[in-house]
Amino acid sequence: MDVIKAARNLGAAIQADEKYKVYMEAKKKSDEDKDLQALIGEFNMARMNIDAEINKEENERDQDKIREFNFTLRQIYGKVMCNDSMIEFNKAKNDFEGLLRHMNGIIEMCCEGADPETCEPSECTGSCATCGGCH
């Protein structure tokens, strides 16, 4: 079997994995959630308002408007992140991305000569700044 065929088989296996299925279902549900999509639209509009004000010439910028837009943006963001569909989507996305990171770690180790049957990538990123502690 050549490498491209193996990649296609891996793609099919990914799509058959439960984490992928849960992720895709959560994505579909969040895309179809009218309340969530309305909030995302409000968020994008608020972000555009901030950008428009910030991009004005310095002497034309209204700092009170920028503060007001930032406050509104944070309020809307909080509502988006508390939406049940978004919570479900983020959990499914994080789980699926964890699977992808693990797979990529195995592939990278194999490219460095590790035994494909026994290699196990570390979850360590090398940065102690974001670490919760070893093992």
> Residue 81: which residues within 8 A CB-CB, separation 6 or more?
87, 90
pLDDT at 132: 61
pLDDT at 127: 72
pLDDT at 125: 67
pLDDT at 47: 95
Mean pLDDT by 10 residues, the chain (135 residues): 93 98 98 97 95 93 93 97 97 97 94 93 74 59
pLDDT at 66: 93
How far apart CA 65 and CA 42 sit, in angstroms, is 16
> Residue 35: which residues within 8 A CB-CB, separation 6 or more?
83
pLDDT at 130: 66
pLDDT at 55: 94
